[in-house]
Structure 1
Amino acid sequence: MLTPHLIEFPKLGAPDIGYISVAEEGHLLPFVPKRVFWTYHTPEEIVRGRHAHYKTEQVLVALAGRIVVVIERPGGELLSFRLDSPHVGLYIPPNNWHSMHYSETAIQLTFASELYSEADYIRDYATFRKVWQAPA
């Protein structure tokens, strides 16, 4: 089973000219993106996400600001990641409940392995636990 992990993208350039980071098919991204979206101007008191996917894989990047991502793995293991550099992404495999907490200036870029499908979302936490948690 794949586990959430950080991906460091190349940081090409220098302080006097700026930087570019690149994600290409077959290099660093564990899938070919079928959808790309971004979130911004999220108030700090709002928690986004709060869902899991049956099939979709994602890589999240904080292009600006800070994003704290809390992930619950199948079986109940909790992981926390702080994204605050535009050349570092977080891989989230399917079947992982995740929530995001943003600083006021955060801009999140998301690469997704699948096109949007509401049927791919598990939005109810009790359903996630029933579907993915190991029996007690």
Structure 2
Amino acid sequence: MTTISDIEIIQIPKIEDHRGNIAVIEKEVLPYEVKRVYYLYDVPSSAARGGHAHIDQQECLIALSGSFDVILDDSKKKNIVTLNKPDKGLLIPKGIWRELENFSSGAVCLVLSSDVYLEEDYIRDYQNFVELKL
């Protein structure tokens, strides 16, 4: 069973240059093959995203621009991680509830997922999530 201690912040390799930096995500950076990429943008600062857990899917969240908070919950313990650097990724394993909030103006959240969209992989009810974690 996954817990808060299984969550990692990973360093995304970057190439620094006086003309601007380049961040590179190749297959050895993540512990899974990326099968879906999506991003959140134009999220109002008062809005929350996420509000679910995955049964099998893993995700890596990256703040490409701006900042936002990720509230992580394993049903026993919670942790808040602020993402605000495009060379840091938050690796979330399966079985962790996540909520995203406090989006700054212009924030963009990139998500690299280990699988395609499968509705049956989502746990969208928190009480159901807690019961499944017992």
TM-score by length of 1: 0.91
Secondary structure at the aligned position of 1:130 is classed as helix
Q: Deviations over 1:37-77 (max 9, x none)?
A: 01100001001001000010000000000011010014x11
Amino acid in the other structure paired with 2:8: H
Amino acid in the other structure paired with 1:98: R
Q: Distance in 1 between matches of 2:77 and 2:91?
A: 16
Q: Distance in 2 between matches of 1:39 and 1:98?
A: 14
Please report how far the alpha carbon of residue 84 of structure 1 lies from its aligned counterpart in structure 2 after TM superposition: 0.3
Asked if 1:11 corresponds to 2:28, the answer is no
State, as a whole percentage, how many aligned pairs show the same letter: 35
Q: Which runs of 4+ in 1 moved over 4 A?
A: none
Please report how far the alpha carbon of residue 30 of structure 1 lies from its aligned counterpart in structure 2 after TM superposition: 1.2
Asked if 1:115 corresponds to 2:116, the answer is yes
Q: Distance in 2 between matches of 1:85 and 1:78?
A: 22
Secondary structure at the aligned position of 2:49 is classed as strand
Paired residue total: 130
Q: Distance in 1 between matches of 2:16 and 2:9?
A: 21
Secondary structure at the aligned position of 2:29 is classed as coil
TM-score by length of 2: 0.93
Please report how far the alpha carbon of residue 103 of structure 1 lies from its aligned counterpart in structure 2 after TM superposition: 1.4
Asked if 1:38 corresponds to 2:1, the answer is no
Q: 1:97: which partner in 2?
A: 97
**What stretches of structure 1 of length at least 5 have no aligned partner?**
none
Amino acid in the other structure paired with 2:120: A
Q: 1:79: which partner in 2?
A: 79
Amino acid in the other structure paired with 1:112: S
Q: 1:24: which partner in 2?
A: 26
Q: Deviations over 1:10-61 (max 9, x none)?
A: 12123x2100011111x22111100000110000100100100001000000
Q: Distance in 2 between matches of 1:130 and 1:73?
A: 11
Secondary structure at the aligned position of 1:128 is classed as helix
CA RMSD, aligned part only? Answer: 1.1
